[in-house]
Structure 1
Amino acid sequence: MKYVFPLFITAALLTGGLTAEDIGISSGNARLLLHQDPADQSYSLAFEAAGKIMRTYEPEKPLSLEVNGERIDGSYTKVSQENGTLICQGIVTSKHGTQFLFTDRFLAEKPDSFELRRNVAIQNDSLEDHFFNSLFGIEVTAKSSLEDSEYFVPGVWYRTNFKTRMAGALAKNPNDHYFLFREDRLPLPLAMLRNVSDGGTVSMIHAASEPTTFTGDRGEERVVDERMQFGSIGVRQLDGTSLAFMFPGSEGEQNHVAWRSTDRWALRSHPVKKGIQHHYKLVISFSKTATYPDAVETTWKHAFDIYQPKIRPVDVKAAFRGLVETLDHYAVSRGYDAPGFPFSVNLPSGTARAYNYQMGFIGRQLPNAYVLIHQGIAGKQNDLRIKGEEIVDFWAANSLTGDGLPRTWYDPAKGNDAKGSWRKSDNPRGGTAMRVATTGMEGMLSAYSLDKRNGTDKPAWLAACRKFGDWLVANQNDDGSYYLAYSHQLIDGRHPPTETSKFTTTNPVRFLITLHQTTGDQRYQDAALRAGEFALTNIHHTYNYVGSVIDNPNVIDRESGQEAIYAFLALHDLTQEKRWLEAAVQAARYAETWMYAYEIPVEIDSGVTDFPKDRSIVGQTLIATGQSAADLGFAFSSFDYYRLYLFTGDPHFLTIARLLVHNTKQALNWDGSLYPDQPKGLQLEAFSVTVPRRKGVMECLSWNYTAHLDPLVRFQDAFGSMDIEAIEKLPLAKRQEFNRSVMKPR
């Protein structure tokens, strides 16, 4: 629905020096203003919000082009109105005589928002004009520096970009003048700027984007082709700070077109010729937000509602069965000196590439073993249960060092007399990372509680969990934090940190709380609360979600948002304090901004792709800044988003939960159609959404199974069904009752 507001004409003196006859549109508290120059009868464009005038990319010149790499600007010469829409036209002529006819249609999109529908047609094209781009922008703050504002470009630019070490990131250098990002690498094509001093917030969304391209769209040299129909969006910093959009989408001053960021532009242009399709729709919105998280939420939800991502239903129960059967298929208990699952499986052949075992993170040996036990009990399949229990037995008996720090990665040996070995590191800095240890040991603790509830006591499993819990209590920093990783070597009776970042302090919280509830030991609860207080101050309040992608440490990433959700939700379950729920909600709002919520098609002339051509990428997520890879890892959080929906009543969280249950399985062989005659749990580990589109890692890793299985098991245990659509048919009061009872020994 479009909101139609009356046009106005005023002769009053307006803030910012606009005088004489001004034409415009009102939308809520914002106005779009066209001012006519009496000298030549041309029109300039500006916006007014909260008494502040914001002019276009080139003040007084709303029409901006680059032709053969040179900037030329122009004004509107004709303005008319039709049913609440301002229709503005102008011609910009190149020095060689080519005429570029701009037709811009402005209307009120919703209160405090305007829609621009732009079309550029070429007339009298000159053979000396070879390529062009059009631009639109708003100078939000005049005579300003980058530090005066906060920024949001999903998956690329957050509040702490300039404060965080991020090799390869696109928005890392505050001395750059241009921060334009190809929209096909963004989960939604938008950029937002919030003034720190007054909370004034302006966003620009490329609406109705269909970002097509072709296989020649590669490398950093200029590419000229009309098949490129994507834009670039971001920020320009000169004397003032502007939101900017370029079409087609050149990327710079840093680019990832050559995979890793480089200090140069990757230029993309359209040819100068008649009949070319050069049009786009932008939505520009104005508001005043109390905080940066409020600005992110408002902007993201606005774009999300514009695109309304479609849910792609799968048979969840069939997918679950296929995943369990795949675990069963690849699990080994003989032939190696330790049981487990292969670290990776080749695609499309389905052959195991490597049998090495990592307890958590991307290896997920223990969480997967827990699922086998769970399904062995639920389905009365004792062979599954035995396989899972053998894996947990191995880790409980062998992984912990003398004082309780787990060794997390094991290379099994083949043959009866051979002996495997433990790796010295699970991360680039060496030693044991908390992310690996806690995700693994949570699996062991869940397996212990499950077996205990079903009549089998495994005291060695609980002893191992307690030993690690005791290590966490003894090695917690005075401020409540934990370091990212610790050495396996003892120095002066302690394991020194190999990576001193504290931003992964969220990682052990849920394990500690579950261990407290399993054992009744108050020390574990106290450690969890102290870690929570540190995380609340240093992660939540600063909006700094960093470091949980441990193979790419100390960068802003999606998984740190997910880990924060788990920690803060567990603390809320423990205490019922509102502040923990608020922190979980903020982390969830942040994490979802990494999820692709619109379609980015494969190249028009593409051949075979790794991620299937005919499947949707909606629901897949970027992993971290400093790279452009995407994966299905957001599937882990479907259960938690559903819980947040029940706690808050926000239907948006329900939509996200449904997307994560269904759409994350687009690359899963759940129906056997992707990899015929291969296990149905196989799927692509990671891939590129932008160029080269849908090329990826042709392997399936152990974590890929867990990402789907873990939340579905949690749904089953909490709500009696793993089918979110069936759960939604239960009475709301019943669902809320189940939700309040989630955090109990599993």
Structure 2
Amino acid sequence: MIRRRKGLLAAALALATASVLAPVSGTGAQAASGSLRSGNHELVLTTGPTTQSVVVRDVASGASVLAEQQPMQVIVKNGETPTDANGQYASVVLEGTRLVGAGDVRSRNGSVFRFRDSYEAAPGGGFSVTRTVAVVTANAADQGFNSRFTIGAAAPRPLQDYQFLAPGVMYDRNRTVPAGALGSNLNDNYLYFREMRMPLPFVMMHDPGSGLDVSLAHQNPRAASPVDEGSGAWLVNGGITHAALGAQRVPSSKLAIVYPGMEGEKNYVNRGAAWVRRSNPVTVGHTQSYQFRIRAHKTADFGAAVRDSWRYHWDMSNPEITKVPVQQVYRSSVDVLASYQGNWGGAPGLPFSVWMDGNVREVSYQMGFVGQQIPAAYLMLRDGLLNNRPDHATKGRQILDFWAANSSAPSGLPRTWYDVNPPGWRSFYPTYLRIATDGLEGVLKAARFMRGRGTPVASWESYARRFGDWLVANQNADGSYYRSYNLAGTAPDNQAKYNTHNAIPFLMELTAYTGDTRYRTAALRAAEFAWQTVHLPSAYVGGTPDNPNVTDKEAASLALRAFLSAYDHTRDQRWLQAAQRAADFAETWQFAWNYSVASSRPAYAKYGVRGQSVIATGHSAMDTWQSGMLFDFYRLYRATNDNHYLQQARLLANNTKLTTQYPGNPLGYGRDGLVEEAIGLADLRYGGVDLWLPWNSVAHAESLAMLQDTYGNMDIDVLSGNPVPDPTVKRIRNQHSNLCLDDYNAVTTPGAEVRQWTCNGLPVQDWTLTPVGDGYYEVRNGHSDLCLDNKDFATAPGAVVHQWTCNNLPVQHWRLTTTSGVTTLVNRHSGLCLDNYNWGTAPGAEVRQWTCNGLTAQDWSIA
């Protein structure tokens, strides 16, 4: 009981620190004011004729940071003309821990709208406002109304000086968006966006000069509408409960929430008009009720502002995660891929698209991107050989053999799209770097998998090397690559360089596979270019080949993957920093709230927008592509121990699978494993393409397979149930020789020898042990930064141990088993023990692998 009382007292003290009320001052005709503290800021409300009715101050300095003169605003519908009416609070009172401002606003025609705004301190800082607006007098000339709240910096700057985040809609100043996109013209007076387009309903405005961030969010949103939200008409209905959020430049730069939502001066409903408006009726007794949240904060730059504001509003939303059986999703995803493999036009492959009733729509073969022929083939191959499904393995191998034999142009650049009727390479479609790297990463995975089983496939290895050699030979002087090239690989087709980072993972893995450092050098040059042009300006552009070079989800996600690859292969903290920044932007495209959707399809009637993510700026189409980033976010969590990335990974692991049909989740589709390729739900109704494409299933299965292969389980809820130990630096001493495992001759290049030497405390004898799951560890040398490796994937006693570029393959995984203070190290690939070869006792004694025998030559102390 005493401990509980102490906990309650601590909680009370914490609340008192976060939320402090000052009494309302002023009597009679004087202006009244009251204040409320939340974190480092104080909110002050003032009545009467005053310069600012709402002010947010910095507690430490007393300086005003946010201000609003007219907190009560209505927009009235008079025919097709909007008319504004505004007001200041007539009263400010304390009600418990809340500060309440209230008053009436009268329209030009005499309609009266009664406002009551109840402010309170919000968790984590900021101020939560519960607003009601009631119609107390109505004039028939006023046909509808919206209420609005705006707030901006106390010393506002021109709108063009700020950087913005409206998730899925507006990034920075929206310089790289299509014509007509929301937020594309900062000379517009208003930039209002329907909240249903945003993965979290908030807007943030960052001042790069002062570092001040202002954010405004719709709290506890209940987006709904009984009217046709696809109509461009100005519709009025009391059941419309969605909001719009955005910014405006009149009378000064501010953020705004408008209820119900109206969209303009650009909109995605009727692009030929400036506005699409919705209003509630001006009927006596009609009352609006909604909540919003105001926050002021300071960050170092726009990237930090994006990270901070997204996480703050993520915590406010507390997204619901529904557990799904990921093993069943994996099985259904691989099985549906295998079920569609066939032979068309004399070549094996998967159809380009399938109707949701299960019937094939179109057949052509695209190696990566939405076609995903090669990654799908690898998944079938892997599944067939690991799970005794020989038919899957055969189907995967047939596809891989076809591409390896036919895809490369004489230059070495792969051709990426094959038509089956008539058969031949699609001549008018260039080779996009994104598509080529998607495909060849799949080839490299398949080659590595087969070599790991002792049956390397030379043609696949050669195919991957040809592309790697082409990348080395065709890298620009600044380290970049072009967006696309002609089919011959002899000239650029599109000279944009935003996609340079797509080459990094393939080149890094190719070095790990071959030992050829030319590929690593090219990868690092590409990473340096991407650091300057992608990371530093936070410019994530052009991720999808079927879109122009616009800000989009896949550009940020693929930048995360690329920088994380650079980090994993170098341990340079710069690349981890860049990976985190890319991840912070990538997750802002993923829905972390939900709303109901009118749909005859069970997938959306049941789950709404859960699991969906916006594809790109310029529209509000959605898909489940982020499912394929599950492994990357979990890997980032393991690298940073940042629990937020784990929570994002959990959302991707589960919610992105909700609209996939699998046993136990019937959705009316033709086969288990089907999931719809792209949809529109932002109008609160379903609109979709009615198609499955191979990428849908690859996105699910590939990340799950990578989790299984890397960490020993595809369910991150199982993996994260075990604490992640920090890597530890140890010395590894043999019990027979009393010598230490040593980077012999202090070599730092792949292939460096490992021997035993007199223990001396130098970095050549420092080994970092990093858990990789299932009781296995990566063993990395502190001097060379190379990993203890089973050379050439050997499996026979006497197999050589050396050091190699860390690549997370089974040949570099060692199971540590400790008994009575001594440890054996068993290689995951060979099943052999690390052994003091020939029982040496002199410095320089060899280390190899041998059949585990329990003798002291295989006993090591690790301390």
Normalised to the residue count of structure 2, the TM-score between the two structures is: 0.80
Check conservation: 1:56, 1:137, Cα contact below 8 A.
no
Aligned 1:624-643 pairs, distance under 5 A? 624-643=616-635
The correspondence for 1:155, drawn from 142, 159, 168, is 168
Shift of 1:112: 4.1
Shift of 1:691: 1.1
Check conservation: 2:160, 2:173, Cα contact below 8 A.
no
Instruction: Work out the CA distance in 1 between the residues paired with 2:301 and 2:664.
Output: 47
Matched, 1:481 2:493: no
Shift of 1:27: 2.0
Name the aligned partner's letter for residue 551 of structure 1. Answer: D
Aligned 1:219-234 pairs, distance under 5 A? 219-234=231-246
Deviations 1:525-562 (A, max 9, x none): 00000000000111000100000111012100010111
Shift of 1:150: 1.2
Instruction: Work out the CA distance in 2 between the residues paired with 1:482 and 1:385.
Output: 34
Instruction: Work out the CA distance in 2 between the residues paired with 1:591 and 1:539.
Output: 13
Aligned 1:664-679 pairs, distance under 5 A? 664-671=656-663, 673-676=665-668, 678-679=670-671
Shift of 1:737: 1.3
Equivalence for 1:106: 119
What secondary structure sits across from 2:204 in the alignment?
A: strand
Instruction: Work out the CA distance in 2 between the residues paired with 1:150 and 1:54.
Output: 17
Equivalence for 1:416: none
Check conservation: 1:611, 1:696, Cα contact below 8 A.
no
- Pair 1:72–1:308, CA change in 2 (3 A): same
Deviations 1:414-446 (A, max 9, x none): xxxxx61110244xxxx1100000001111111
Aligned 1:410-425 pairs, distance under 5 A? 410-413=418-421, 420-425=423-428
Instruction: Work out the CA distance in 1 between the residues paired with 2:124 and 2:604.
Output: 40
Check conservation: 1:89, 1:103, Cα contact below 8 A.
yes
Equivalence for 1:206: 218
Deviations 1:668-694 (A, max 9, x none): 001264455832110111111211523
Give the CA RMSD over aligned residues. Answer: 2.3
Matched, 1:274 2:284: yes
Equivalence for 1:540: 535
Equivalence for 2:546: 551
Matched, 1:405 2:413: yes
Deviations 1:506-538 (A, max 9, x none): 111100111111111111000000000000111
The correspondence for 2:646, drawn from 613, 636, 654, is 654
Shift of 1:56: 5.2
Shift of 1:43: 8.8
- Pair 1:632–1:451, CA change in 2 (3 A): same
Name the aligned partner's letter for residue 743 of structure 1. Answer: N
Matched, 1:167 2:159: no
Shift of 1:227: 1.6
Equivalence for 1:706: 698
What secondary structure sits across from 2:245 in the alignment?
A: strand
Instruction: Work out the CA distance in 2 between the residues paired with 1:215 and 1:457.
Output: 61
Name the aligned partner's letter for residue 562 of structure 1. Answer: S
Check conservation: 2:32, 2:92, Cα contact below 8 A.
no
Equivalence for 2:76: 67
Check conservation: 1:611, 1:695, Cα contact below 8 A.
no
Aligned 1:8-23 pairs, distance under 5 A? 8=22, 22-23=33-34
Equivalence for 2:264: 252
What secondary structure sits across from 1:396 in the alignment?
A: helix
Q: Give the length in aligned residue pairs.
A: 715
The correspondence for 1:738, drawn from 746, 752, 772, is 772
Matched, 1:309 2:319: yes
Matched, 1:615 2:607: yes
Check conservation: 2:332, 2:672, Cα contact below 8 A.
yes
Instruction: Work out the CA distance in 2 between the residues paired with 1:80 and 1:344.
Output: 62
Instruction: Work out the CA distance in 2 between the residues paired with 1:730 and 1:32.
Output: 43
| Runs of 4+ deviating beyond 4 Å | 1-4, 9-12, 40-43, 54-57, 739-742
Shift of 1:229: 0.5
Equivalence for 1:344: 353
Higher relative CO (CA 8 A, sep ≥ 6), structure 1 or 2?
1
What secondary structure sits across from 1:395 in the alignment?
A: helix
Equivalence for 1:188: 200
Equivalence for 1:385: 393
Instruction: Work out the CA distance in 2 between the residues paired with 1:679 and 1:474.
Output: 45
The correspondence for 2:370, drawn from 362, 367, 371, is 362
Equivalence for 1:529: 524
- Pair 1:610–1:479, CA change in 2 (3 A): farther
Deviations 1:304-357 (A, max 9, x none): 111111111111111111112111211114x5310011111101x200111110
Instruction: Work out the CA distance in 1 between the residues paired with 2:142 and 2:251.
Output: 30
- Pair 1:657–1:598, CA change in 2 (3 A): same
What secondary structure sits across from 2:439 in the alignment?
A: helix
What secondary structure sits across from 1:73 in the alignment?
A: strand
Equivalence for 2:515: 520
Equivalence for 2:677: 685
Normalised to the residue count of structure 1, the TM-score between the two structures is: 0.92
Check conservation: 2:628, 2:699, Cα contact below 8 A.
yes
Instruction: Work out the CA distance in 2 between the residues paired with 1:266 and 1:311.
Output: 33
Shift of 1:232: 0.6
- Pair 1:263–1:583, CA change in 2 (3 A): farther
- Pair 1:557–1:607, CA change in 2 (3 A): closer
The alignment-based identity, stated in percent, is: 37
Over alpha carbons, which structure has the higher Rg? Answer: 2
Question: Mean Cα displacement is larger for which, 368-377 or 284-293?
Answer: 284-293
Instruction: Work out the CA distance in 2 between the residues paired with 1:336 and 1:710.
Output: 28
Deviations 1:368-418 (A, max 9, x none): 0000110111112222111111100000000110011111000124xxxxx
The correspondence for 2:306, drawn from 279, 291, 296, is 296
Check conservation: 1:114, 1:283, Cα contact below 8 A.
yes
Matched, 1:5 2:19: yes
What secondary structure sits across from 1:670 in the alignment?
A: coil
Shift of 1:20: 7.4
What secondary structure sits across from 1:278 in the alignment?
A: strand
The correspondence for 2:710, drawn from 682, 698, 718, is 718
Instruction: Work out the CA distance in 1 between the residues paired with 2:169 and 2:473.
Output: 37
Any gaps of 5 or more consecutive residues in structure 2?
1-10, 728-769, 779-805, 811-863
Equivalence for 2:331: 321
Any gaps of 5 or more consecutive residues in structure 1?
13-18, 414-418
- Pair 1:20–1:676, CA change in 2 (3 A): closer
Check conservation: 1:42, 1:77, Cα contact below 8 A.
no
Instruction: Work out the CA distance in 1 between the residues paired with 2:157 and 2:716.
Output: 49
Instruction: Work out the CA distance in 2 between the residues paired with 1:557 and 1:106.
Output: 36
Equivalence for 1:511: 506
Check conservation: 1:169, 1:626, Cα contact below 8 A.
yes
Name the aligned partner's letter for residue 130 of structure 1. Answer: Q
Instruction: Work out the CA distance in 2 between the residues paired with 1:157 and 1:628.
Output: 12
Shift of 1:29: 2.5
The correspondence for 2:297, drawn from 272, 287, 299, is 287
Name the aligned partner's letter for residue 423 of structure 1. Answer: R
Check conservation: 2:73, 2:86, Cα contact below 8 A.
yes
Instruction: Work out the CA distance in 2 between the residues paired with 1:691 and 1:617.
Output: 11
Equivalence for 1:15: none
What secondary structure sits across from 1:564 in the alignment?
A: helix
Name the aligned partner's letter for residue 772 of structure 2. Answer: F
Shift of 1:21: 5.9
Check conservation: 2:167, 2:589, Cα contact below 8 A.
yes
Check conservation: 1:572, 1:580, Cα contact below 8 A.
yes
Shift of 1:192: 0.6
Check conservation: 1:631, 1:686, Cα contact below 8 A.
yes
- Pair 1:169–1:611, CA change in 2 (3 A): farther
Instruction: Work out the CA distance in 2 between the residues paired with 1:137 and 1:577.
Output: 44
- Pair 1:226–1:589, CA change in 2 (3 A): same
Instruction: Work out the CA distance in 1 between the residues paired with 2:122 and 2:669.
Output: 50
Shift of 1:10: 8.9
Check conservation: 2:34, 2:99, Cα contact below 8 A.
no
